[in-house]
Amino acid sequence: MKKVFLYIAAIILVLVIGGYLILNEKLPTGENPAKADELANKMLKSLNKSAWDSTNVVAWTHKGGHQFVWDKKNQLVEVKWGENDVFLNLKEWNKGKAFSEGKEITDGQLDVLRGKAWSIFCNDSFWLIAPYKVFDEGVTRKIVKTEDGSEALLASYSSGGVTPGDSYLWILDSNDAPKAFKLWVKVIPIGGVSATWDNWKTTETGAIIAQNHKLGPLDLNVTDLRTGNDLAAVKVDASLFDKIK
């Protein structure tokens, strides 16, 4: 029986290694940063980046489980998942508060929950607004020629978020809007995995945001997306963040 299990394990290992060798793509080097900046600006124009910049508040649910209210103007975030409700002040970390099952957490778990909320926010907000972040500090941009001869935009992040070093190759449509990107990220061992960007919504403030993503078998969808100039505009109590300002 032991030999049978070892045999099965060996087969699984071979399949995993074989799948990796077949599916894994090397990160392209890219070229022409100046032309890449031009393409990046075209992409941002197609998504009305100026409207996103002037959006003060955005609220959404990610993948049906994580709920967010993000006061961009004042750099305040509420992250809710399961029985947890965490408030982050991105300017003054020590002002952040956490609640679990309705009770405020004041012991060592406070930093644990704040750290978890920050990680969730970084990941889920990237899936919300990644196209708008191609000119963030620490990002380099290059042009990559695809197999069909078109130009794609490679954005590599040397800093920011919780996984600096990740790279994304944006595939654009004929209107310069993203339709997919390929990922080279630490959390996925296979390079070049593709994710879609579709079901674009023009929000209340004019920013254009994709609500549906398909990453392999996973659906990473955005629901209940609302934007506005203040908390009331996204149907949230105006006093939500008073406790951590």
What pLDDT is attached to residue 16? Answer: 36
| Mean pLDDT of the region 87-104 | 96
pLDDT tens per residue, range 107-116: 989 999 999 9
C-alpha 168/C-alpha 132 separation (Å) is 13
Reading the block at residue 42, the tokens are 């075209």
* Residue 5 placed within a domain: no
| Mean pLDDT of the region 62-68 | 92
On the question of pLDDT at 52 being above 50, the answer is: yes
Burial (Cβ within 10 Å: 0-12, 13-18, ≥19) of residue 2: exposed
pLDDT tens per residue, range 205-219: 999 999 999 998 999
Torsion sign (Cα): 69, 71, 72, 75: negative
| Mean pLDDT of the region 38-59 | 98
* Residue 206 placed within a domain: yes
Q: Are 83 and 100 in contact (CB under 8 A)?
A: yes
| Mean pLDDT of the region 57-63 | 96
On the question of pLDDT at 14 being above 70, the answer is: no
Pick from 167, 123, 141: nearest CA to 26: 167
What pLDDT is attached to residue 12? Answer: 29
User: Considering all CA atoms of the chain, what is the largest pairwise distance in Å, rounded to the nearest integer?
Assistant: 66
Number of domains in the chain: 1
* Residue 25 placed within a domain: no
* Residue 85 placed within a domain: yes
* Residue 9 placed within a domain: no
What pLDDT is attached to residue 173? Answer: 95
C-alpha 135/C-alpha 132 separation (Å) is 8
C-alpha 144/C-alpha 36 separation (Å) is 9
Q: Which domain holds residue 166?
A: 32-239
What pLDDT is attached to residue 148? Answer: 86
What pLDDT is attached to residue 5? Answer: 35
C-alpha 171/C-alpha 144 separation (Å) is 10
pLDDT tens per residue, range 122-163: 999 999 999 999 999 999 999 999 888 899 999 999 876 656
The rounded Cα 201 to chain-centroid distance in angstroms is: 17
Report the 3 state secondary structure along 65-113. CEEEEEECCCCEEEEEECCEEEEEECCCHHHCEEEECCEEECCCHHHHH
What pLDDT is attached to residue 9? Answer: 34
C-alpha 169/C-alpha 122 separation (Å) is 19
* Residue 22 placed within a domain: no
Q: Are 234 and 224 in contact (CB under 8 A)?
A: no
Confidence band (pLDDT; 50, 70, 90) for 13? very low
What pLDDT is attached to residue 15? Answer: 29
pLDDT tens per residue, range 71-90: 999 999 999 999 999 999 99
What pLDDT is attached to residue 63? Answer: 87
On the question of pLDDT at 18 being above 50, the answer is: no
pLDDT tens per residue, range 158-188: 876 656 789 999 999 999 999 999 999 998 8
Reading the block at residue 9, the tokens are 């394990």
Confidence band (pLDDT; 50, 70, 90) for 10? very low
Pick from 53, 51, 83: nearest CA to 67: 83
What pLDDT is attached to residue 165? Answer: 86
C-alpha 176/C-alpha 194 separation (Å) is 18
* Residue 11 placed within a domain: no
